[in-house]
Amino acid sequence: MKAYRILLICLFTTTLLNAQQLEVINAGGDYLKNNQGSITFSIGEVVIETFAHGNLCLTQGFCQSNVTVTAIHEIPDLEYELLAYPNPTKDFVTLKIKKDNLKNLRYLLYDPNGRLLKSEQIISNQTSIPFNFLIPATYYLKIIEKNTEIKTFKIIKSN
C-alpha cells in the first residue's frame, strides 16, 4: 500500500511538471545572423519585457499582439517638441508644443479615407482638439509650419 502511494505521488508530480511546460505555436519567425551577433524571433507572442538602449529596442516574451504607431512622420532634429495625448482618446486630444513662436503653425485633422475634417491655426502652446463628434476609427493629425509638414500623429478614437 505504501509503494502504491509513492508511485501515485511520483506519477502525479511528473504529470503536473509536464503540464506546466510552455509551448509556443507561432505564426512565423526567423533566425538572423551577422558578424555583430544573431537574433531568433517569432511572430504572435505576448509581451513580457522590453529593453531599450539608445535607439535600439528589444521586446521579448509571448504573443506581441498589438503594435500602435503614434507618430508617422516627423522632421529629424526638430528644434521644438510636439506631443499629442491621450492616444487612444474618447473626447479630445491635447496638442502640446514646446516652442516660443507659434506663428505659421496650424493643424489639419484627416479621417481614415484622407478627407480633411478640420484645419485651424495654432495660437497656444496647448491646444484642445475635439474628437467627441467623430466615430471610432483611426485619424491623422498633421502639424504644418508655413507649407511644410512637421509631424503627423496617428490618433485612435475609441468608444
Residue 83 pairs with which residues in a beta bridge? 96
pLDDT digits (tens, 9 = 90+) for 53-73: 766 666 665 544 444 545 566
Spans in the chain with pLDDT lower than 50: 20-22, 47, 63-67, 69
pLDDT at 129: 93
Residues 130, 131, 133, 134, CA torsion sign: positive
* Cα distance between residue 139 and residue 105, in whole Å: 19
pLDDT of residue 21: 47
pLDDT the model gives residue 110: 93
- Retrieve residue 54's grid coordinates: 539608445
pLDDT for res 113? 87
Query: What pLDDT shows up at residue 81?
Result: 85
The answer to whether 152 and 141 have CB atoms below 8 angstroms apart is yes
